[in-house]
Amino acid sequence: MAVELTRPALAAEASALPARALLVTLLRPPVILYVPAALFLAAFFLVPLGLVVWMSVSDPEFGFGNYATFFASRYDLAVLARTFQTAFVVTLASLVFAYPIAYVAARRGGAVGGFLLGVVALSFWTSFLVRTYAWMVILGAKGPVVGLLTALGVSPPPRLLFTTFAATFAMAHMLVPFMVLALYAVMKRIDESYMRAAASLGARPLRAFLTVYFPQSLPGVVNGATLVFITCLGFYVTPTLIGSPQDKMIAGRIGQEIEQLLDFGAASATSMILLAAALALFTLYDRFFGLDRMWR
Partner 1 sequence: MTGDDASSLRLSRRKLLVAAGAGSLSIPFIRRARAAEAIYVNTWGGPWEEAARAVLFDPFTQATGIEIKTIAPVSFAKLAAQVRTGVYEFDVTTLGVSELARANHANLLDKYDESKIPAASLWPGAVTLNGVNSHAFANVIAYRKDKFPAGGPKNWAEFWDTAKFPGSRCLQNYSARVLAFALMADGVAPTDLFPYDLDRAFKSLDRIKKDVRVWWSQSPQSQQLLRDGEIELIGMWNTSAQQLIDQKVPIALSYDQAVIDVAAWVVARGTPRTRNAWRFIEFAVQPERLAQFAQRNNYGPMNPASFKSLPPEVVARMPTSPENLAKAVVLNAEKLGPQFDVMAKRFEQWLSS
Residues making contact with partner 1 (CB under 8 A):
43-44, 47-48, 50-51, 75, 78-79, 140-142, 159, 161-162, 244-248, 256, 258-262, 264
Q: Give the nearer residue to partner 1 in terms of CB position, either 173 or 253.
A: 253
d(CA 227, CA 194): 28
**Smaller CB separation from partner 1, 75 or 194:** 75
Give the span between the Cα atoms of 79 and 236, in whole angstroms: 13
Question: Rounded distance, CA 248 to CA 268, Å?
Answer: 18
Q: To the nearest whole angstrom, how small is the minimum distance from the Cβ of residue 259 to partner 1?
A: 5
Q: What counts of helices (H) and strands (E) characterise the chain?
A: 16, 0
> How far apart are alpha carbons 86 and 230 in whole angstroms?
11
Phi/psi for 124 (5° steps) reads -65, -35
Are 271 and 277 in contact by the 8 Å Cβ rule? The answer is no
Considering the complex, state which of residue 53 and residue 199 has its C-beta at the smaller distance from partner 1. 53
| Shortest Cβ 87–partner 1 spacing (Å) | 17
Our CB check for partner 1 shows the closer of 157 and 234 to be 157
Q: How deeply is 16 buried, as exposed, middle or buried, from its count of CB atoms within 10 A (0-12, 13-18, 19+)? A: exposed
Pick from 89, 244, 92: nearest CA to 164: 244
Q: How far is the CB of 126 from partner 1 (least distance, A)?
A: 21
Report, in Å, the least distance between residue 124 CB and partner 1: 27
Longest dimension (CA), the chain: 80
User: Measured from the CB atom, is 34 or 44 closer to partner 1?
Assistant: 44
Do 94 and 176 contact (CB within 8 A), yes or no? yes
CB of 245 to partner 1, least distance (A): 5
Choose between 177 and 265: whose C-beta lies nearer to partner 1.
265
Residue closer to partner 1 (CB basis): 123 or 244: 244
**Nearest approach, Cβ of residue 252 and partner 1 (Å):** 8
Cβ of residue 247: shortest distance to partner 1, in angstroms? 8
Can the peptide bond before residue 156 be classed as cis, meaning omega within 30 degrees of 0?
A: yes
| Region of residue 202 (phi > 0: left; psi between -120 and 50: alpha; otherwise: beta) | left
Q: Which is nearer to partner 1, 178 or 235 (CB)?
A: 235
Distance CA 122, CA 127 (A): 10
- Is cis: bond before 60, omega within 30 of 0? yes
From the CB of 144, what's the least distance to partner 1, in Å?
A: 14
